[in-house]
Amino acid sequence: MPKPSSKSTPKALSPEDLAEIRQIYADLEKRALPRDCTGLAGCCQFRLTGRTPQLTRGEALYALIGVRASGRRELKPHPEGACPLLGRDGRCTIYQHRPFGCRTHFCQAAGGMYPRRHVVDLIQRLEALDEKLGGDGSRPLEKALSGT
Ligand code: SF4
């Protein structure tokens, strides 16, 4: 996988865009839907689940802040086909910066995906930010982070 930053994506979110994505995630936290994520990281096992989070550009740039903060200089494929951001300890290495999909529990063990009607306004804000940043829609996590 290429290094986290690329020529085709902005290198960083502007303060305004950073504030917007943080607010989107904060607003999501206020949605009181019953879920029980226990950090099993089952949803991070892409090869096993056959599912991968889809990231808009704003989510990707925010996740890359977490990648840089973790000290990684490049992302390598996980040897077992899991998310490349899953640490050796079995936990997300960018938890505070994880994408929207990872926050809406696409993991069945945690209760399953939030019904779209409960988060559609937040998805639309992510899409609006994506467009503002020159993105062209959601991409699978690895592609979104590599900017391809
Ligand atoms: S970004 Fe973190 S929470 Fe999301 S799939 Fe990867 S390791 Fe799991």
Instruction: List the one residue out of 74, 83, 66, 63 whose CA is nearest residue 3.
Output: 74
144 has pLDDT over 90? yes
Name every residue whose Cβ is closer than 8 Å to that of residue 14 and which is 6 or more positions away in sequence: none
Instruction: List the one residue out of 55, 50, 125, 41 whose CA is nearest residue 90.
Output: 41
For residue range 33-82, list pLDDT tens digits in order: 777 667 678 789 898 888 899 999 999 999 999 999 998 888 889 999 99
- The answer, yes or no, to whether any atom of ligand 1 lies below 6 A from the CB of 98, is yes
- The answer, yes or no, to whether any atom of ligand 1 lies below 6 A from the CB of 86, is yes
Q: Tell me the C-alpha to C-alpha distance, in Å, between residue 117 and each of 23, 27, 99, 102.
A: 19, 15, 19, 17
Domain boundaries, the chain: 15-146
